[in-house]
Amino acid sequence: MKKGARFMALAMSAAMVLGMTGCTGASDSQSAQTAKAAEGETAANAEKQDAAGEEKPFSGDATVFKLGTTVNEQDSFQVAAEKFAELVKERTNGAYEIEIYPNGTLGGERDMLESMQIGTLDMGIITSGPFINFSSAMGVLDMPYLFGSNEEAYTVLDGEIGRELLDTLESSGLKGLAYAERGFRNLTNNVKPIQTAADLNGLKLRVMENDVYTASFKAMGVNADPMAWADALTALQQGTVDGQENPPVNILNDKTYEVQKYMVMDKHIASIVTFAISENFLKSLPEDLQKIVTDAAEAVTPESAEVCAKLNEEGVAKLEEYGMSVYTPSAEELEDWHGAMRQTCIDFVTKQVGSELVNELLTAIDEAE
């Protein structure tokens, strides 16, 4: 069986195990209406050519696509979204525009993915964690200490296995366009300084709604409490959880430092981001517009990665300025973290998606080192 077919089979069986039901995309009538509108715009574009073959500026009302994120306007997601919108508008001569909804206006990340399934949202920029609920194969990206650096992650994700993982989302009515970067996730809490893996024992930490995250932290003696980020902020403020884990830029932008005193730079997971789109919506567009949308998503990710790396680096310094205690474990100390989390999660994910997929990913990472 070819790899692509095997991945798709994994995704389909995973969807059955997870018990997912009918939310697979827009209705046939919605798709037909969208296609008809898109064809009309394509015809309008053709009429922009004058007798000399020169293109005239688009003068009608633009067709608007909705793109959602959960971050604020200073975030690297916003930078990527704005650049993406600029490219789509430019490459369609103003016939199509992207309307950006930041700050979780359209719901949490899982909510937005479900909205894409049923056709009420066109696209979003989403961190990797929620995707396991739509394709268990995507859970391999959430194994702790998987990537040693951002560059290593790019090498693997830009290759064959990265593309095939995105393709597993199609069985859930979603399409992954391109990967982007969020930065490495680190732990914070408001109880005590953390230096070793053993120090985490007994802490109650909010984690993403993701079985791999839950298994990772339970392996370290943590009381892992999965919840959406909007609920997590309230839980941290009220003290019903002791801590959480996120890249520095998130901790800074969401002002988590106001209710969290200690951060340890354990870099346990490289937070991968995906440009996701409703598959039915994408297929309803003319082929040339599909290519414009896909190419634009791929084009903006390098710039987004640079912005993200800078924001995370500056974020650590600012968090210290704001009074947060930041500890960076030595390489020897991190070996204990690896031992406590990594093999447990490899075993856990292997049970979910099979040893062949896990081994292929680990081999690709070894080759990228």
Tokens encoding 145: 């200490």
Answer with the residue of higher pLDDT: 155 or 40.
155
The answer as to whether 317 is a domain residue is yes
- Kindly state the average pLDDT of the residues 240-253: 95
Of the given ranges (50-59, 79-88, 194-203), which has the lowest mean pLDDT?
50-59
- Given a cut of 80, is residue 15 above it in pLDDT? no
Strands 243-246 and 325-327: unpaired
96 band by pLDDT with thresholds 50, 70 and 90: very high
pLDDT category at 361 given cuts 50, 70, 90 is very high
Question: The tokens 């988590």 sit on which residue?
Answer: 256
Is the distance from CB of 355 to CB of 346 less than 8 angstroms? no
pTM equals: 0.79
Going by pLDDT thresholds of 50, 70 and 90, the confidence category of residue 60 is low
Q: How far apart are CA 85 and CA 81, in angstroms?
A: 6
Query: Is 9 domain-assigned?
Result: no
| Position 52 pLDDT exceeds 70 | no
First to last CA, the chain: 28
Residue 340: pLDDT band by 50, 70, 90 thresholds?
confident
> How many domains would you assign to the chain?
1
**What Rg value do the Cα atoms of the chain yield, rounded?**
21
Domain assignment present for residue 39? The answer is no
Report the CATH number that the domain containing residue 319 is assigned in CATH. Answer: 3.40.190.170
Amino acid of residue 20? M
Q: How far is CA 191 from CA 160, 200, 248, 258, 321, in A?
A: 43, 10, 19, 14, 20
Residue 209 lies in a domain: yes
Q: Are 309 and 79 in contact (CB under 8 A)?
A: no
Residue 214: per-residue pLDDT: 93
Strand partners, 276: 124, 176
Domain-embedded: residue 23: no
Q: Hey, how many other C-beta atoms are within 10 angstroms of the C-beta on 322?
A: 12
Strands (E), 164-222: 174-189, 204-207
Please report whether residue 40 resides in a domain: no
Q: Select from 134, 106, 130, 133 the least CA-distant residue to 120.
A: 106
pLDDT at 51 > cutoff 90 = no
**Residue 357 domain boundaries:** 62-368
Burial (CB count <10 Å: 0-12, 13-18, 19+), residue 290: middle
Alpha-carbon span 363 to 314, nearest angstrom: 33
